[in-house]
Amino acid sequence: MSAFYNKGKERILKQWHDGGSAKTIKAMFMAPAYTPDVDSHQFVSDISASRASGTTDQTLASIAIAADNTNNRAEFDAADLSVATVTTSTDMIVLYESTGVDATSTLLCYIDIAEGTISPVSGTLAITWNSEGIFAV
């Protein structure tokens, strides 16, 4: 059997995020008809047609990466999101590393919204990330 050490996982995530140059990680709200294809979708340009209309991608703030020895993983977390005047439906968020160009902005993960499809009517869309992080490795 082989396995990564938790601090090794944390170091890999931190090196990716902090090493060399600062990364801008953004959240994109997806239209309910979007179906992820983890094998062929690589860049934002592969999925941008499925972006929920009328939404603006949100830059994640206060990114934190830490080892979780209880669950044997490293966790990636950020501040919760609050987006005003959303008038569209969404049921999924895609996180990506933004280069400023859709054709070179790498997709990282997609997250199903636990409540299912949400449809705010000119209201604020509040996304509260899980207390154990947005994703873990």
pLDDT tens figures, 9-43: 899 888 888 876 778 999 999 999 999 999 999 99
C-alpha 58/C-alpha 29 separation (Å) is 9
- Can you read off the two tokens belonging to residue 101? 């160009």
C-alpha triplet 95, 42, 39: angle, nearest 5°: 110
C-alpha 124/C-alpha 76 separation (Å) is 24
Other CB atoms within 10 Å distance of the CB of residue 114? 8
For the chain, what are the domain ranges?
6-136
pTM exceeds 0.85 for this model: yes
Asked whether 94 and 113 are in contact (CB, 8 A), the reply is: no
User: Per-residue confidence of the chain (137 residues) as pLDDT tens digits?
Assistant: 777 889 998 998 888 888 767 789 999 999 999 999 999 999 999 999 999 888 889 999 999 999 999 999 999 999 999 888 777 888 899 999 999 999 999 999 999 887 777 776 677 888 889 888 999 98
